[in-house]
Structure 1
Amino acid sequence: MVGAAASTTGKACAMAKVAVVGVGMIGSGVAGSLVGGGFDVAVYDVDPAAVEVFRGRAATAATPAEAAADADALVVAVFDDAQARAVLTGPDGAFGALPAGAVVLVLSTIGMATLEDLAKAGAESGVHVVDCGVTGGPGAAARGRLVSMVGGGDEAVARVLPVVEAFSSKVVHMGGSGTGMRAKLIRNHMQYTVWAAADEARRMAEASGIDVAKLREVVVAGDELTGGPTALMAMRPAPEMMRGAAAMAHKDLRASIALADEVGADVPVARLVEPEFHRVFGLEEYDVEEAAAESAPAVEDARTRGLRMMSAVYSLPMSLEGASGPYLDLTVDHLFGEIWTRPGLDIRQRRLLTIGVLAALGKDDLLEIQFSSAMERGELTGDQLREVVVHLAHYVGWPLTSGLGGLVEKLVRKQESADRSAEQSADPSAERRPRS
C-alpha cells in the first residue's frame, strides 16, 4: 500500500466477518475475493438473484441490517447516493445493526455531500466510515485486482486494510476522510473527458478513411514514449517556458478542427478546448489570436481553393492562368471554391448527389467525367457504378439511363487496361512470361 497507513499482512484475523451490501457488477467480484481470502462473508442485494449466486459460499441476508449484524466491516457497493443512504440509514439500514467500532467501507461513487452526511451518521452510531474509490471495472473486481483510493483516518484505514487488499492489486491511502472519493471523482472526470476526445478522434478517423485500429496502435505506442494524458500531472514547468508549446497546441488543434470540418466530423470537445488550451500550461495571460496569426498558414483565396478542389474532384491538375469571365468565376470561385469545399459533405458524397442530378438531366458526357474520376480516386468500384446505374434507372427513368450501362463497361475496361499497363511497367518481364 502507498500512503500513511502501513500494510497489514494478516487477513481475516482483525476483520473476521465482512458484510457486502450490493453484489452487482463490482460488489459481486469484491464479495468473491473476500470469500477467497478466508473472510466470513455475508451478502445482501435488492436483487434476490444476485444474492442467490453466493448461497453455499457466503451467508445470505434479506436486509442490510441482517447482513451487518456482528460484522467487523461492511462494504457498500450500490449504484448511487440514494441507494447508499437507504442501505445505511433507511429502514433496516446497516448503521442500526453494526456493532460499535465497526468500519463501513464505501465503494460506491457518490457525491461529497452524501458522503459527509453518512460519515456524520456513522459517527453518531459509533461506526467509522472510510471512503474507498475503486477503478478497474468488473473484470478487475472479479480477479481481486481493483485499484483502490482510500480516504480516512490512519487507525480506521489500518484496521480495514486487509479487507481492501483482498480485492485490490494496488491500495493508495489518499489522506483523510473524503480524499478517496474525491480522487475517484477526479479519476472519473479525467477518464470520461479523455473518452469523449477519443470518440471524436475515432469519428474523425472513420470520416477521413483512416483505419481506427491502426490509429489506436500509433496512439498507444506514442503514449508509451510521452507518458500519455497523465504526463503533465508529473511535471509542471514554469508557464513562460511553455509559450512555444501552447502556440503549437493551438496551431495543431485548429488544424485538426479544420480537418474535421473538411470530412464532416462533429468535434465539440476540440472546439470547446482549443480557445483555452494555453491554460493547460499555466498561461493565464496569452493572446490566442495573436499567436494563431503568427503560426497560421496563408488563407487561400477563392480561385486557389476552387482550383485545388477541381483538381481533387476530377483527378487532374487544374490551371486557368490568364482565364477569366463571369461563368468561369461562378464555376471555379463559387461552385468549387465555396460549395464543394463546405464541411458538411465530403467529395464522394457531393459526387453522388451530382451524379443523380446529371442523370436526371440526361448529361451522359458529364456523367462520364464523374464516373471516370470516381474510379480513379477509388471512390467507386466498377461494381458500385453498375449498382448506381440500376438505382438511377428506377428514379430518373429507363430512357435517361439506357446508355449508362455501356458507359460504365467502357470505363471499367479502360481502368482494367490502365491497371495492366501499370503492372507491366512495374514488372517489365511480365509481358515476356508465357500466359497459362
Structure 2
Amino acid sequence: MSDTLKAGVIGLGMIGGGVAVSLARSGRVPAVYDVRPDVAAELAGVPDPLGSPAEVARAADVVMVAVVNADQAREVISGENGLLSAARPGPTIVLLATVALPVIHELAARCAQHDVGFLDCGVTPGDKAADNGMVAILGGEQKTVDEALPVLEDWAKKVVHCGPPGAGMATKIARNVVTYGSWRTVAEAAALARAAGVDAARLAEVIDTADPEGRTLLQLLRMQDTDGVLPEAIGRQTEPLMTKDLDAARDLAAALGLQAPLVDVVRTQARRTLQLDTEPAPAPAKDDVHAYGLHMMDQAYGPGFSTAVEDSADPFSTETVDYLFAQVWGREGLSVRDRRLLTLGVAATVGRPELVQIIANGALVNGELTADQLRECVLHLALYTGWCKATATHTGVTAAIDAHSAARTPTAQEQK
C-alpha cells in the first residue's frame, strides 16, 4: 500500500520545490501546484503545476503544503478552490509552514470536519530540501503519522513525531530559539575576541576542534531528567565554574570598552538556569497593605531585607512599609529598577555611603545593574552632585560590590 500512495506538493519555493524534487528522485512523482505556472521548469523530475489546490487534492493521498504564512495556509487548505473543497475522506494534509499554534489547531479542526488527516510539520535545514536532507518535525495523531510515513520518508532523512497536533510546530519554534539565540551568542563572543586582537576564525577553529559534534550546545538538556529537572548536585557543581567564567567575560568586555548584554543576562540568570533558585512565593494581595509593603521592600533590596522592620510597631517604620513601599514602590508605571535609579540619585546628593550601599546592594542582588553599570552611575552622578558627594557615592557602591563578590562561592581554583 505504501508504494501506491500518491504525493502532492503545494508551494514550490525552496522548501516545497526541494520536497517535490526529493519525491521525484525517490520515484514518487508528486502532483504539484504553485501560483507561478512555470516554476517547475527548473525542478528536476517535477511535472507542470495543476490548476488549483483542489486538483492536487483529487490526485494525491498525502499533500505537503509549503506556503509562507497563516493566511496562505488557510486559503490553500480551506479556500474556495482549496484542498478541502475537493478532498475525499481519508487523505492527509501536511503543513510545512511555520505558523502560530492556534492556527494549527484551527486548521486541524477544519480537516477533521472533512475526515481528512492533518499533520503540522516543521522542517530543517531548508537548504537540504532537494537532497532528501531535511528533518520532518511532526505533530499529529499517531495513526495519521503512520499512514503518511512512507511519503514523508521519501523526502526527509529523519521523521520525528513529537506529539499531538501542534507539537511539531512547538518543537520547530523552540529549535529556532536555540538557533537564533546561539547566533546572538556567537556575535557577542566574536566581537569580544576581535576586540582582544583574536581573529574570529581562530575562535571558530577552537570550537570546531574541541566540540566537533556540537554536544556542548545541548549539554544542559542531556543533564536534565525526562521532566526537565536538573539534579541539584550537578547545578551546585556547575555554578562556581559558570559564574567564574562569566565574570571573566564581563571583566574582559569592560576592559575592552565593549557592551556584553547577553553575558550580563546569562550571568544574572545563572542560578535560575541551573535550577538552583526555588520558585518565588506569590506576592501578597495589595489589599493586605502591610504584607504587600514587606514584599515590595524585599523586591527593592533583596530577600530578607524586610525582616528588620516586619515586627516594628513605631509610626515611622509602619508608614515606611505601608505607604512608601506598598503604595509608592508598588505602583505601576515605573519598574523597581527605575525607582532604584531615582533613589540612588537622591542618595548621592546627601553624601551617605551607607545608604548608597544599601541601594547598590539591592541592584546587585536583583540582577538589575552590574558592578560596571553601578560604577558608571557614580561617574554620571559626580557631574551633577559634585565630586565630594560622589566620593561618598563611590564608597557606598564599592562596598556593595565588594560584599556581593565576597558572598559568591569560590571555585576550587580560587581556593588554591
| TM-score calculated relative to the size of structure 2 | 0.62
Residue in structure 1 matching 2:277, options 280, 284, 288: 284
1:87 aligns with 2:68: no
**What amino acid maps onto 1:124 in structure 2?**
Q
Match of 2:113 in 1: 124
Q: Looking at CA atoms only, which structure, 1 or 2, has the larger radius of gyration? A: 1
Query: How many Å separate the matches in 1 of 2:264 and 2:83?
Result: 48
Residue in structure 2 matching 1:44, options 25, 30, 33: 33
CA pair 271-47 structure 1, distance change in 2 beyond 3 A: farther
CA pair 49-70 structure 1, distance change in 2 beyond 3 A: closer
Match of 2:3 in 1: 12
**1:8-157 correspondence runs (5 A):** 11-13=2-4, 15=5, 17-54=6-43, 57-138=46-127, 140-157=128-145
C-alpha displacement at 1:224, in angstroms? 4.1
Query: How many Å separate the matches in 1 of 2:275 and 2:214?
Result: 19
C-alpha displacement at 1:275, in angstroms? 0.6
Match of 2:248, SS? helix
Match of 2:132, SS? coil
Contact kept, 8 Å, 2:250 with 2:264, in 1: the verdict is yes
C-alpha displacement at 1:61, in angstroms? 1.9
Contact kept, 8 Å, 1:44 with 1:51, in 2: the verdict is no
Runs of at least 5 residues in structure 2 that lack an aligned partner in the other structure: 225-229, 280-301, 304-360, 366-370, 376-416
Deviations 1:54-98 (Å, cap 9, x if unpaired)? 497324123222222231011011112222122112232112122
Query: How many Å separate the matches in 1 of 2:112 and 2:99?
Result: 19
C-alpha displacement at 1:130, in angstroms? 0.9
Query: Cα RMSD (Å) of the superposition?
Result: 3.0
Match of 1:214 in 2: 202
Match of 1:223 in 2: 211
**What amino acid maps onto 2:92 in structure 1?**
V
Contact kept, 8 Å, 1:35 with 1:58, in 2: the verdict is no
Match of 1:316 in 2: none
**What amino acid maps onto 2:3 in structure 1?**
A
CA pair 56-210 structure 1, distance change in 2 beyond 3 A: closer
C-alpha displacement at 1:103, in angstroms? 0.2
CA pair 264-41 structure 1, distance change in 2 beyond 3 A: same
Query: How many Å separate the matches in 2 of 1:226 and 1:64?
Result: 41
C-alpha displacement at 1:225, in angstroms? 8.3
Query: How many Å separate the matches in 2 of 1:19 and 1:104?
Result: 9
Contact kept, 8 Å, 2:10 with 2:32, in 1: the verdict is yes
**What amino acid maps onto 2:220 in structure 1?**
L
Residue in structure 1 matching 2:267, options 264, 269, 274: 274
CA pair 69-267 structure 1, distance change in 2 beyond 3 A: farther
Match of 1:173, SS? strand
CA pair 55-36 structure 1, distance change in 2 beyond 3 A: closer
| TM-score calculated relative to the size of structure 1 | 0.60
**What amino acid maps onto 2:67 in structure 1?**
V
Match of 2:344 in 1: none
Match of 2:392 in 1: none
Runs of 4+ in 1 over 4 A off after TM superposition: 285-290
Query: How many Å separate the matches in 2 of 1:161 and 1:218?
Result: 40
C-alpha displacement at 1:251, in angstroms? 2.6
Among all aligned residue pairs of Structure 1 and Structure 2, give the percentage whose two residues are the same amino acid.
Answer: 35
C-alpha displacement at 1:47, in angstroms? 3.2
**Equivalenced residues, count:** 285
